[in-house]
Amino acid sequence: MINLAGNKLMVNVENLSVSYRQQRKEVPALRGVSFAIPRGGTCALIGPSGCGKSTLLYVLSGLLGSFSGRVLVDDEPVQPLRRQTALILQDYGLLPWKKVFDNVGLGLDIRGINGRERTARVQRVLLEVGLWEMRDRYPSQLSGGQRQRVAIARALALEPDLLLMDEPFSSLDALTREKLQKQLLDIWQKKRMTVVLVTHSIEEAIFLGQIIIVLSEHPGRVVDIVENPRVGEPGYRKTPEFHALTTVLREKLIP
Amino acid sequence: MHERGYIKKTAATAASIAFLLLGWELLAVMLASPALPRPLPAFITFVREIPAGLWRHFLISSYRVVLSILLSLALALPCGMVLGREERFDRLAAPLVYLVYPVPKIVFLPVLMVLLGIGDISKIALITLVIFFQILVPIRDAARGINAGVINSVKSLGAGRWDIYKHVVWPAVLPEMLTALRVASGTAIAVLFFSETIVSQEGLGYYLLDAWSRYAYREMFAGIIAMGLLGFIIYMALDYLERRLCPWKFV
Ligand SMILES: Nc1ncnc2c1ncn2[C@@H]1O[C@H](COP(=O)(O)OP(=O)(O)OP(=O)(O)O)[C@@H](O)[C@H]1O
Ligand SMILES: [Mg+2]
């Protein structure tokens, strides 16, 4: 499975179709979706509301097991509870009854990692996202951006090689969103885990996705896969190429 | 910050007690009937009656109520969480719950007495039977209402069924559980009163009814005060528990 460049595929999806059962009717959500993401790459999923982006992420995380087609994660058929996969959902990630520290440590608790190892890991990731001072607060005492960073910290604490994010920044104001996008980029450049990010924002897709997968209206099909190799270059957001790509994507999304 | 909230709350409690006593006083003065003694004489009788035997009735009633609450909680909490989360079980149990829930369970007292005798056990069984459903239904609904996103994101951390119960379902139903217990404790005391007025020789219900039959209205009101006190103590205990168990609600 290793190709000549030594670039293993982290995610390989072939002809994936998913349908939900609703009142005895099969409602298709995704139809014949194929794409691949190399190990250590980033991918942005973009498409109109209801086209199946979250569904696709659920399939990749292993939480949704009923689909047809082939989905390989790290060369293995996708399975629930793969230990190196972390999923961040939009709003519901954090448990209101746990303090920041324990929210971040939750994945470790569940995996039976405790004691000094747990403390050390939680401290490290909280420092990484700049929230160590907030460790004794409850989620309700944090701003939206801080909460999202806690959710990211919780995922990072698992030391994932595949990070799945469902519209992680969409409820934030523009300024905070850009800051967090940059922070995510920094983290990715340091750790080089594979990132799959669902977004509604064209800018965000271009800023973060080396591969941008454009999905069609419901049921989701791949409209196009856009390569965007300059992700992570300093000042990319200000280049003419960035803006040109915005226009290209906008046209693909709103034909 | 916490300190101030606590003082505020104590002040509010004191104010509402004062308001209650004032209303009582006014009503008693207006009625001017021995059937409604004024608060002060009633309280004096209450204090006198405590060493004279009221304390024993109070303790027995407290024991019955508290044990019933604990018992029904121990039964309803796991059942409610499981029914709320596991649809298969709920499908089986829901018709049963809705059939039995509205039945006035006090009609079972004679049966319970035949089965369990006329002592504590039949009374505790009756109270438990009544409030079990009052606790079960809110807990089940709270467990059912947990956002699927919360469950999924904890699952994505590798959580199995047991982890979900431990980290999500249990803390999520806690506030509902305490609210349900507040309602249930009121019901429990009412059912207790009823059960203690039937073939009974001890407990506040017996004490009250006995005073009533002797037209000893001040003693009757001493019994009422004792019952109110019992309810108040349970309420305060639940308040304290909420602070201890749900600290995230108070930040
Ligand atoms: N549990 C479910 N049962 C039935 N249908 C569902 C379920 N979840 C999603 N769907 C349907 O599947 C389709 C895809 O949903 P999905 O949540 O994946 O969309 P999305 O692209 O993430 O949308 P958004 O951008 O609004 O979040 C939608 O039409 C939705 O109505
Ligand atoms: Mg979605």
**pLDDT > 50? residue A55:** yes
pLDDT, average across residues B215-235 = 94
The pair of structure tokens assigned to A101 is 């520290």
A49 C-alpha vs ligand 2 centroid, how far in Å? 7
CB B137 within 8 A of CB B90: no
pLDDT at A175 (0 to 100): 87
Domain match, B92 and B113 both? yes
Domain match, B42 and B20 both? no
| Banded model confidence at residue A6, pLDDT cuts 50, 70, 90 | low
> Looking at residue B147, what DSSP letter applies?
-
How does DSSP assign A94-159, residue by residue? Answer: S-TTS-HHHHHHHHHHHTT--THHHHHHHHHHHHHTT-GGGTTS-GGGS-HHHHHHHHHHHHHHT-
Tell me the pTM.
0.87
Domain match, B28 and B80 both? no
What pLDDT, in 10s, does the model give residues B79-123?
A: 999 999 999 999 999 999 989 888 898 888 989 999 998 889 999
CA distance A147 to A123: 16
Sign of CA dihedral A160, A162, A166, A170: positive
**pLDDT > 60? residue A4:** no
pLDDT at A7 (0 to 100): 67
Q: Cβ-count burial of B121 within 10 angstroms (0-12 exposed, 13-18 middle, 19+ buried)?
A: middle
Domain match, B26 and B40 both? no
pLDDT at A2 (0 to 100): 42
How many domains are contained in chain B? 2
Instruction: Give start-end residues of each CATH 3.40.50.300 domain in chain A.
Output: 9-84+160-253
Please report, for the domain that includes residue B77, its CATH number: 1.10.3720.10
Domain match, B83 and B99 both? yes
Residue of B nearest to A160 (CA): B157
CA distance B172 to B85: 12
Residues belonging to chain A? 255
CA distance B249 to B251: 6
In this complex, do A88 and B153 lie within 8 Å of one another by their Cβ atoms?
Answer: yes
pLDDT at A58 (0 to 100): 93
The pair of structure tokens assigned to A127 is 């420092």
Name the residue of A20, A46, A88 whose CB sits within 8 Å of the most ligand 1 atoms, as the mutation to test its pocket: A20
Largest CA distance in chain B: 70
In this complex, do B172 and A111 lie within 8 Å of one another by their Cβ atoms?
Answer: no
Give how far A141 is from chain B: nearest CA, Å. Answer: 8
Task: Name the residue range of residue B10's domain.
Answer: 1-32
Q: What percent of chain B is predicted at pLDDT more than 70?
A: 99
The pair of structure tokens assigned to B201 is 């020789």
Name which residue sits closest to atom 3 of ligand 1, judged by CA: A20
Q: Is A172 helix (H, G, I), strand (E, B) or coil?
A: coil
B75 C-alpha vs ligand 1 centroid, how far in Å? 38
Nearest to residue B103, comparing CAs of B129, B82, B124, B78? B129
Domain match, B96 and B175 both? yes
Nearest to residue A192, comparing CAs of A154, A235, A163, A164? A163
Look at A81 and B109; give whichever has higher pLDDT: B109
Residue of B nearest to A57 (CA): B156
CB A153 within 8 A of CB A133: no
The pair of structure tokens assigned to B235 is 């309420």
| Banded model confidence at residue B208, pLDDT cuts 50, 70, 90 | very high
Atom of ligand 1 nearest to the CA of A27: 5
- Least confident span in A37-41, A88-92, B56-60: A88-92
Domain match, B48 and B7 both? no
Ligand 1 neighbour A97 (Cβ under 6 A): no
Domain match, B178 and B214 both? yes
What pLDDT, in 10s, does the model give residues A130-188?
A: 899 999 999 999 998 899 899 999 999 999 999 999 998 888 888 888 988 999 999 99
Q: Which residues on chain A are in Cβ contact (under 8 Å) with B172?
A: 97
**Residue A219 CB partners (closer than 8 Å, separation 6+):** A19, A28, A29, A30, A31, A51, A52
Domain match, B160 and B59 both? yes
| Banded model confidence at residue B56, pLDDT cuts 50, 70, 90 | very high
| Banded model confidence at residue A3, pLDDT cuts 50, 70, 90 | very low
- The reply to whether B162 touches chain A by the CB within 8 Å rule is no
CA distance B112 to B106: 10
Q: Is A5 helix (H, G, I), strand (E, B) or coil?
A: coil
- The reply to whether B246 touches chain A by the CB within 8 Å rule is yes
- Least confident span in B3-12, B166-175, B211-220: B3-12
Q: Work out the mean pLDDT of chain A and round it to a whole number.
A: 91
- The reply to whether B159 touches chain A by the CB within 8 Å rule is yes
A213 C-alpha vs ligand 2 centroid, how far in Å? 15
Q: Which of A106, A147, A148, A198 to mutate to test the interface with B (most CBs of B within 10 A)?
A: A106
pLDDT at A92 (0 to 100): 64
Please determine, looking at this structure, whether the domain spanning A9-84+160-253 carries the CATH number 3.40.50.300. Answer: yes
What pLDDT, in 10s, does the model give residues B236-246?
A: 999 999 999 99
H helix or E strand, kind and range, residue A214: strand A211-215
Domain match, B40 and B138 both? yes
